[in-house]
Amino acid sequence: MHLLNADLHSHSNVSDGTLSPEVLAARAHAQGVELWSLTDHDELAGQHRARDAALALGMRYLAGTEISVSFAGTTVHIVGLGIDPDDPALIAGLAATRGGRRERAQQMAAGLAAVGIKDAFEGALRYVGNPELISRTHFARFLVESGVCEDTYAVFRRYLTEGKPGYVPHQWARLGDAVRWIREAGGIAVIAHPARYRYTPIEEYALFTEFIGHGGRGVEVMTGSHSAAEQARYGETAREFGLLASRGSDFHSPEESRIELGSLPDLPGHLEPVWMALEHRIQETHP
Ligand code: AMP
Ligand code: MN
Ligand code: MN
Ligand code: MN
């Protein structure tokens, strides 16, 4: 159980991934994943499909989501694992969180139009699988397709991050609300890819202590967003704060993702894997 090939962070076309939950499940299984979680942004609509596909393949499954949160002027992602995907308060909280995405996308398109990139809203929409979830990733795909940038990373760098023409600040969920929705839906809250936030040490300390104060219990140590040095560093952070450790590729698409499903190094042996605390929430087929 400790050295399970667990991949507890991935996206389907129900949010900003390109594969359906079923195709993603098959890919995870083919890559040797033994315990999988689909963690679409601010959305649970793929959960039953993902679970059914996983169980049909004989792969264990944990229901999941990745909630967008605003904290200290930055967007932070909180992964919820082992949640009940039918929990009404979680469903309502996520609906409220993704509520302003359409208007935000229209403002993003206006910002891009001002620098000569026309019809980006319509262009991004062509990549959207779920009309309630228009994300920056869909704009990035459109800008690559139309030849404005070489790849999606360049699009983010030049157009979609703070201070750039297509960036629109947005108010996401509050940290305390996100953690509470996850806990009350029976799950464990996990800070996603902490190295991505560019916080000062004081801000990062505030994030971890407030997160724990709200009842958050885990942190991603092995993620596609961390370098080897960052994996080591957040392994230490997990130990210092007494947090459970998680492992997940953050896979979005075969063309764009740098890390394949199920291919990260194992968690260091001295850390407690988050799935050890979620055994009662793991779904599996009993032959
Ligand atoms: P949104 O929720 O619309 O703000 O979009 C956030 C998504 O954009 C993330 O979940 C990633 O999939 C993607 N993303 C964010 N920053 C970058 C980046 N610098 N390079 C590539 N993809 C990114
Ligand atoms: Mn994403
Ligand atoms: Mn994320
Ligand atoms: Mn993610």
- Whether 164 is covered by a domain: the verdict is no
Could you count the other beta carbons within 10 Å of the beta carbon of residue 103?
12
Residues 62 and 187 grouped into a single domain: yes
Counting ligands in written order, which one lies closest to the CA of residue 250?
Answer: 4
pLDDT of residue 281: 98
Specify the pLDDT at position 3: 83
Instruction: Assign residue 116 the CATH number of its domain.
Output: 1.10.150.650
In ligand 1, which atom is closest to the CA atom of 152?
21
Under 8 Å between Cβ of 137 and 41: no
| Beta pairing class for 188-191 and 218-223 | parallel
Distance 286 CA to ligand 2 centre (A): 33
80 and 182 fall within a common domain:
yes
CA 143 to centroid of ligand 2, rounded, Å: 16
Quick check: is 287 in a domain?
A: no
Q: Whose CA is nearest to atom 21 of ligand 1?
A: 153
Residues 176 and 83 in one domain: yes
Same structural domain for residues 199 and 264?
A: yes
Look up residue 261 and give its two tokens: 């499903």
Distances, alpha carbon 60 to alpha carbons 80, 167, 217, 264, in Å: 17, 38, 22, 18
Going from the Cα of 163 to the center of ligand 2, the distance in angstroms, rounded, reads 20
Helix ranges (DSSP H) in the chain: 21-30, 47-56, 88-98, 101-113, 120-125, 136-145, 152-155, 175-184, 201-213, 228-241
18: containing domain: 6-97+171-281
| Residue 206, in any domain of the structure | yes
Residue minimizing CA distance to atom 19 of ligand 1: 156
Report CA(286)–ligand 3 centroid distance (Å): 33
Alpha-carbon Rg of the chain, whole angstroms? 18
pLDDT, tens digit, for every residue of 32-76? 999 999 999 999 999 999 999 999 999 999 999 999 999 999 999
Q: How many domains, in total, are found in the chain?
A: 2
Render the burial of 30-67: b for 16+ CB within 10 Å, e for the rest.
ebebbbbbbbbbbbbbbbebbbebbbebebbbbbbbbb
107 and 93 within one domain:
no
Does position 287 have pLDDT exceeding 70, yes or no? no
Residue 90 reports pLDDT greater than 70: yes
137 and 209 inside one domain: no
**Which-ligand-closest: CA of 42?**
1
Q: Which of 10, 136, 143, 144 to mutate to test the pocket of ligand 1 (most atoms within 8 A of CB)?
A: 136
- Ligand 3 centroid, distance to 191 Cα (angstroms): 9
Mutate to test the pocket of ligand 1, among 13, 76, 137, 249 (most ligand atoms within 8 A of CB): 137
Q: d(Cα 55, Cα 158) in Å, to the nearest integer?
A: 42
Task: Judge whether residue 286 has pLDDT over 80.
Answer: no
Nearest ligand (C-alpha, residue 135):
1
pLDDT score of 156 more than 90: yes
- Please give the Cα distance from 223 to 264 (Å, whole number): 7
| Residue 140 belongs to some domain of the structure | yes
For 170-196, write each residue's pLDDT tens digit: 999 999 999 999 999 999 999 999 999
User: Could you say which of 115, 132, 158 is where a domain stops?
Assistant: 158
